Amino acid sequence: MPSEKPANRVQDIIENAQAILRYTSGMDLATFEEDRKTYDAIERCLERIAEAAKLGDLAPVLMPDQPWRIIRALGNRLRHSYDDIAEDRLWEIVQKDLTGLCAACEGALARLQTGVDLG
């Protein structure tokens, strides 16, 4: 169960995004599609990210450039419609979206930890 503390949730997003990037380092789409263990690990990390992304009204304040509704919806799709998700779509998320999400979360975490006024 994710923490109720926003800083812990943001840290969970960072840790899981970094894990995904480590797991897929040096891979291409074909390798990713053939490596079932890595694929399964990526799915699980993305589920954790989606769950940790439930930051309520704080998410768009901390990181307005991130698609929070889409991130949370991905978690629902991974949990309930996992057989309808194409490997190339997950690969696209890994390649195009995770680095930016991780960077945004690192900035937000720094703001949370230093007590910067978010209002």
Rounded distance between C-alpha atoms, residue 36 and residue 7, angstroms = 32
Give the number of C-alpha atoms closer than 13 A to the C-alpha of residue 77, restricted to the C-beta side: 14
Candidates 29, 68, 23; CA nearest to 45 is: 23
> What confidence tens digit (pLDDT) does each residue in 4-35 have?
789 999 999 999 999 999 999 999 999 999 99
Q: Where are the domains of the chain?
A: 6-114
Output the pLDDT for position 80: 84
Which whole number is the average pLDDT over 77-105?
Answer: 89
Does the pLDDT of residue 47 top 60, yes or no? Answer: yes
Which whole number is the average pLDDT over 63-70?
Answer: 94
Residue 112 CB neighbour total at 10 angstroms: 20
Buried b (16+ CB within 10 A) or exposed e, 15-45: bbbbbbeebbeebeeeebbeeeebbebbbeb
> What confidence tens digit (pLDDT) does each residue in 83-93 have?
778 888 999 99
Output the pLDDT for position 56: 84
Q: What are phi and psi of 65, to 5 degrees?
A: -85, 0
